[in-house]
Amino acid sequence: MTVSSAPGKVYLFGEHAVVYGEPAVPCAVERRATVSVSLRDDDHVRVRAEDLSLNGFTVEYSGSTGTRPDVDVPTPLVEAAMGYIDAAVEQARDAADAPDAGFDITVESDIPLGAGLGSSAAVVVAGIDAATRELGVELTPREIADRAYQAEHKVQEGQASRADTFCSAMGGAVRVEGDDCRTIDAPALPFVIGFDGGAGDTGALVSHVRGLRDQYDFAADTVETIGNIVRRGEKLLSEADPDSDPSEELLEELGEFMNFNHGLLEALGVSSRSLDSMVWAAREAGAYGAKLTGAGGGGCTVALDPTPETNTALRFTPGCEDAFRAELATEGVRVESEETGATERDQ
């Protein structure tokens, strides 16, 4: 059996705009998805899903992963969990040239589904790493990122960007602009995350922004302005000392850009009452900046605050189900354990 894990992420800047070729800066956070894979002696795939903000379930099916499992679980929940796992299995089979490989797969995660923290990307990245290792093939983190992007691109019907999967595979802070993906040597930023307990419909929200952008010049200008904010924020991060705590001046400027970014996302109609409430609660508690993270519509906000004040304020904010501090995950995808016979990637 091979066990791999990969981190979730928050967007410091750039969600939605990244879909149209503008840059984005996501940062990996220490909330991880862990995928355990054992090779079977047939072509069946058996998946046990835990802690995905769903009721846990087990499914088994054979042959092509395109065959949908018949289980007594609401269809949207099965689709949410299984679509990405199917795609990861397909990528692993292709990478190892093993089209008939069967697997027993267990997925565990402390990243809520659909909340803007990159749960699907983390599951796909960890799944590809564990499955290919189980088949005797080791991929570099960049190779895993590319295959994970292809998987998400298929599941999301061409609307995915490389941001989530690249960030999860590489760890730390990254910059993504189209196919140009780079890591950033950033200091450890003091993230505080608020979660409203819900999840936005990523596909519908992306389609909504696309419709606005196609119909109105000012909406297209808004998307471009988000890209300009990202460029300014990335420059600040790149000039900071990654080995020192971030300065107050850096946090103030980054926070101001985050606030601008959230306002523009509000204008594009992808925020919600609960997200806005959490953003304002964080700012009033003294956070340097706060914004939604991910597609919006519900899910999570991210704030910059090294003190406990924002975390405390969020916990008392109506509509906030959970609040927690999340450290920057400097390590991306990693193997947690392998049985004898598999070779660990050089660390």
- Range list of H helices, the chain: 75-96, 119-134, 141-155, 163-170, 202-215, 217-239, 248-267, 273-284, 309-315
The answer on 205 and 148 residing in a single domain is no
CATH of the domain at 259: 3.30.70.890
pLDDT for res 341: 44
For helices 119-134 and 141-155, the axis angle rounded to 10 degrees is 120
Q: Given the structure tokens 């700012």, which residue do they identify? A: 283
pLDDT for res 120: 87
Q: What is the chain's pLDDT, residue by residue, as a tens digit (347 residues)?
A: 999 999 999 999 999 999 899 999 999 999 999 999 999 999 888 888 765 544 444 555 555 555 554 444 444 545 656 788 889 999 999 999 999 999 999 988 888 777 788 888 999 999 999 999 999 999 999 999 999 999 988 887 766 778 899 999 999 999 999 889 999 999 999 999 999 988 778 878 989 999 999 999 999 999 999 999 999 999 999 999 999 999 999 999 999 999 999 999 999 999 999 999 999 999 999 999 999 998 899 899 999 999 999 999 999 999 999 999 998 999 999 999 987 544 444 43
The answer on 226 and 108 residing in a single domain is no
The answer on 195 and 153 residing in a single domain is no
The answer on 196 and 180 residing in a single domain is no
The answer on 322 and 179 residing in a single domain is no
Q: What is the DSSP string of 205-274?
A: HHHHHHHHHHH-HHHHHHHHHHHHHHHHHHHHHHHS-TTSPPPHHHHHHHHHHHHHHHHHHHHTT---HH
pLDDT for res 77: 45
CATH of the domain at 148: 3.30.230.10
Domain containing residue 12: 2-184
Domain membership flag for residue 166? yes
pLDDT for res 47: 86
14 DSSP 8-state letter: -
Q: How far apart are CA 60 and CA 48, in angstroms?
A: 9
Number of domains in the chain: 2
Backbone angles phi, psi at 15, to 5 degrees: -60, 155
Nearest to 303 by CA among 249, 255, 262: 255
pLDDT for res 74: 45
Q: Give the sheet arrangement for strand 300-304, strand by strand.
A: 289-292, 300-304, 191-195, 322-326
pLDDT for res 346: 41
How many whole angstroms from its chain centre is CA 20?
18
Q: How far apart are CA 31 and CA 59, in angstroms?
A: 25
pLDDT digits (tens, 9 = 90+) for 47-73: 887 655 444 445 555 555 555 544 444
pTM of the model: 0.86
Strand 191-195 and strand 300-304: the pairing is antiparallel
pLDDT for res 55: 44
Active site residues per annotation: 164
